[in-house]
Structure 1
Amino acid sequence: MRFAVVDIETTGGFPSQHGITEIAIVLHNGTEIEGVYETLVNPHQPIPPFVIGMTGITNAMVEAAPSFSEVAPQIYNLLKNRVFVAHNVNFDFSFVKHHLQEAGFDLHTPKLCTIRLSRKVFPGFPKYGLGHLCRQLNIEIENRHRAGGDAKATAKILDMVLQNSGERLVKEMLQKENREQLMPPNLPAHYLHDLPQEPGVYYFQNKQDKVVYVGKAKNVKKRVLSHFTGLDLSKKRQDFLREIYSIRYAICPTEFIASLLESIEIKRLWPAYNKSQKRFEQLWGIYLFEDNRGYKRLAIDKKHKNTQPLQAFSLLADAHRELWRWVREFELHPALCFLDKTIPNEWPDVQLHNQQVEKVIAWIAEEKASYIIQEKNTAILVEKGKFVGMGTIDHIEVSEPLEPTYAAAIKEAVTPYAENEVIKSMLRKYLERYPHRVVRIVE
């Protein structure tokens, strides 16, 4: 097995924004070092003072150095057909791959992280950063925080891993297509192994166990893995991955239950990296009024504090879609609902039109009835059109219509949750799609 042990120095932490100032590649055949490549690189951007202080690489030192594009062919030839090895491999690999792509080279090679290897081969150390690990293993680092010194130290760590029956482990990690290396650098591998392949809600937590992201899935393990695949080099994604220190989850009987719980938890926990359900909810409503000709008219408008619409929506598009549905199902004239701006040659009869609008209102009132949705062993309780909560009902008999005694027992079994516009929208769509799953409660 042939390895290329790589270390780089950079102007910052994100490949799309920062440049490489130095790169070193130690070629290793699995038994011994075959050669070493090392060069300074002109990043064509200023090196921040704190980086200069840490690495000792100054702007003057890289001024006469080659650009990465000049050395890219040689670097690509050294790396191809070898296993890319680095300490915290995703950092080095993401930079090298990005800058090679900009130079016209597409690097496809397996990669191996000596941090993760060392945790398995040398368990029990307090820290596994390069400096800490080398001290624990009595490896002397010459020229610390320079690419050559750090790459040679990493090569010695690889040597020690291979000498301690690490070859089998290396093969196992490569056979798994580097899944563990795609995980966030601060997330221990056992969190991934313990995830269920069932519907549920998962929580990414930071170093202080604070939830930074909540998600739902039909298959929790598969969905969590999908967060860590690909090579998104953006600052936002790398910040996100560095924040993840642990994962917890809640198994749900169905994906729909998981969707409801996800929305509840996002509103409750307000995680830093959830965006979709945290936007300001500009509510829209469908309102009823009578014009000066006696027509009862339906119109979409922004939801006002002191007025109650027939139905409210978080998105204007959803309000339009619902009103068009009413127009089609109850044979209303689009112009009398402000959906058609053209003036018709003949307006419908006022009385007949108003009767149809009354049917819409009666239908909405019917929709605001009390009912439960049963998903496997879980009931979702809605009272007078308002989401109350959900809970397990293994011991309660459910039949249509549901008698008040059974309804009271279900309410006792249900965990109450706060309603929000996302949940209201999900329930409305569910009723449209699966009306046969709804069990009405006798008032």
Structure 2
Amino acid sequence: MQFAVVDIETTGGYASGNGITEISIQIHDGTRVTERFDSLINPEHSIPAYIESLTGISDEMVASAPKFEEVADRIYNLLHDKIFVAHNVNFDFSFVRHQLEVAGYHLQCKKMCTVRMSRKVFPGFPSYSLGKLCNSLGITLNDRHRAGGDAEATAILLGMLLEADQEGHIKQALNKSSKEQALPPNLAKAAVDALPQNPGVYYFKDQKGNVIYIGKAKNIKKRVCSHFTGNNLGPQRQDFLKNIHHVEFEVCGTELMAFILEAVEIKRLWPENNRAMKRFEQKYSLFSFIDQNGYIRLGIDKFKKQGPSLYNFNSLSEGHSLLRMLIKEHLLCERLCFIQKNRIGCVGHEDGKCSGACVGKESAAAYNVRVKYAIQELHQMLPSFAVIDQGRTEDEQSCLWVEKGQFYGMGYISQYTDVKDMSQVKSALKPLPSNDYILHLILSYADAHPGKKLSIEF
């Protein structure tokens, strides 16, 4: 086997928006380095000050260096029929492949990550960064953070790995059916192999065990692996993959339960890489209060997490439609419900549809009776039901519980549980927070699968 040990220096951390400033390629025949190519590269834009201080490569140094396209043919011919080797290979490979694509070359070759292989062949070291790993193995590392010095150390590391790999980790990783080299450098293949092919939720964690991303899946293993494929070269994905050290999961009985658990867990843990679900918020609420004259007032206002609400809405028009319906059916006062704000007496009073609470003609006690009936009707309108579905095993069933228009919780019950005994069913469930997103998921599913829906009577 022929290996191409590669190291590059760049102007930044992601390939699509940055350039290569230096490249070193060392051809290794499995025993020794047989050929070497080193060159500074003109990235065609300025090198940030912090990169210059790290690498020592300045704009002046690369001003007369060849542009990547000028050496692309040489680089492609060195790489295309070799195994591409680098320390955190996906980083270097993403830059080199991107630059070759721009120059008109399509690089397809096997990859080998010396971070991943070192973890397998030399387990137990406190760190697998190139500098600390070389120190642990006694490898002399010259010109740190320069392509030539780092590539030379990586080539020595490759030789040590090939010699010490008695269990065949490298051969197994390079097998065509193995997807290991596509995995993030710090994520163990065994952790991915252990993932189930069931619906559920998965958690990516960083080196300290902090959750950095939560996802849901119909097939956990397939979905997790999909994160590591594709050609997205943006900074967010590059940083995301680099920080994945662990993956954990929780199996769910159904895909719907996975959707719900994902929403709950994102709100609970607030991972830095979950953005779409964080943006979902309930916007408006129907609320009630007693004013200084003793009248119960209904109104629509912005949703408040800590405030009691009778009903929640995603739009102001949706809230006003429901409130107008209650006003019409229970002869409530539009002014006391904040539909009209600039009149002493409401239009309904002039039309005989309001008994005059707005102008003091109807007592608070009489008016409040109708308001209470309106609230009671609203509660009766809110659905209460359970969704009984498949469980995680053949011996159990899953259950989702909705009570008076609010998601109560979910869990699992035995196949032999009497589902008509609702108090027994409810006691087996785990209470979870509700929001309109979760409720909409459940209502849509129940409408599509009426045979799985059981009404709850109070």
Aligned AA for 2:411? G
Q: Partners of 1:20 and 1:162 in 2: how far apart?
A: 29
- The structure-2 alpha-carbon separation of the partners of 1:241 and 1:277, relative to structure 1 and needing over 3 Å to count, comes to same
Other-structure match for 2:348: none
Other-structure match for 2:361: none
Residue 110 of structure 1 contacts residue 178 of structure 1 at CA under 8 Å; is this kept in 2?
no
Residue 26 of structure 1 contacts residue 35 of structure 1 at CA under 8 Å; is this kept in 2?
yes
Q: Which moved more, 1:263-272 or 1:424-433?
A: 263-272
Deviations 1:350-406 (A, max 9, x none): xxxxxxxxxxxxx9988734221111212111122321111222176345xx3xxx1
TM-score using structure 1 length = 0.79
Following superposition, the deviation at residue 24 of structure 1 comes to: 0.8
Q: Partners of 2:124 and 2:187 in 1: how far apart?
A: 16
Aligned AA for 1:209? G
TM-score using structure 2 length = 0.76
Matched, 1:113 2:106: no
Following superposition, the deviation at residue 312 of structure 1 comes to: 5.9
Q: Partners of 1:101 and 1:166 in 2: how far apart?
A: 37
> Aligned with 1:16: secondary structure?
helix
Percent of counterpart pairs with the same letter? 47
Equivalences for residues 153-302 of structure 1 within 5 A: 153-165=153-165, 168-175=168-175, 179-281=179-281, 283=283
Matched, 1:374 2:388: yes
Q: Partners of 1:25 and 1:393 in 2: how far apart?
A: 60
Following superposition, the deviation at residue 38 of structure 1 comes to: 0.7
Residue 110 of structure 1 contacts residue 177 of structure 1 at CA under 8 Å; is this kept in 2?
no
Following superposition, the deviation at residue 89 of structure 1 comes to: 0.5
Residue 112 of structure 1 contacts residue 178 of structure 1 at CA under 8 Å; is this kept in 2?
no
Q: Which moved more, 1:248-257 or 1:162-171?
A: 162-171
Residue 282 of structure 2 contacts residue 435 of structure 2 at CA under 8 Å; is this kept in 1?
no
Deviations 1:194-251 (A, max 9, x none): 2222111111122332222111111111111111112211011112223322222111
Q: Partners of 2:23 and 2:414 in 1: how far apart?
A: 62
Following superposition, the deviation at residue 25 of structure 1 comes to: 0.6
Q: Partners of 1:74 and 1:263 in 2: how far apart?
A: 50
- The structure-2 alpha-carbon separation of the partners of 1:167 and 1:52, relative to structure 1 and needing over 3 Å to count, comes to farther
> Aligned with 2:17: secondary structure?
coil
Q: Partners of 2:210 and 2:316 in 1: how far apart?
A: 34
Equivalences for residues 18-417 of structure 1 within 5 A: 18-165=18-165, 168-175=168-175, 179-281=179-281, 283=283, 314=314, 368-376=382-390, 377-394=397-414, 397-399=417-419, 402=420, 406-417=421-432
Following superposition, the deviation at residue 44 of structure 1 comes to: 1.6
> Aligned with 1:257: secondary structure?
helix
* Residue among 448, 452, 458 paired with 1:433: 448
Q: Partners of 1:316 and 1:166 in 2: how far apart?
A: 68
Residue 285 of structure 2 contacts residue 303 of structure 2 at CA under 8 Å; is this kept in 1?
no
- The structure-2 alpha-carbon separation of the partners of 1:145 and 1:285, relative to structure 1 and needing over 3 Å to count, comes to closer
Q: Partners of 2:167 and 2:211 in 1: how far apart?
A: 37
Deviations 1:268-315 (A, max 9, x none): 2222211222215364899xxxxxxxxxxxxxxx97669x99986648
Uncovered stretches (5+) of structure 1, i.e. residues with no partner: 287-301, 324-362
Aligned AA for 1:89? V
Other-structure match for 1:334: none
Uncovered stretches (5+) of structure 2, i.e. residues with no partner: 287-299, 323-376, 391-396
- The structure-2 alpha-carbon separation of the partners of 1:384 and 1:221, relative to structure 1 and needing over 3 Å to count, comes to same
> Aligned with 2:165: secondary structure?
helix
Following superposition, the deviation at residue 178 of structure 1 comes to: 5.6
- The structure-2 alpha-carbon separation of the partners of 1:19 and 1:96, relative to structure 1 and needing over 3 Å to count, comes to same
Residue 303 of structure 2 contacts residue 312 of structure 2 at CA under 8 Å; is this kept in 1?
no
Aligned AA for 2:14? F
Q: Which moved more, 1:84-93 or 1:142-151?
A: 142-151
Following superposition, the deviation at residue 429 of structure 1 comes to: 0.6
Residue 14 of structure 1 contacts residue 234 of structure 1 at CA under 8 Å; is this kept in 2?
yes
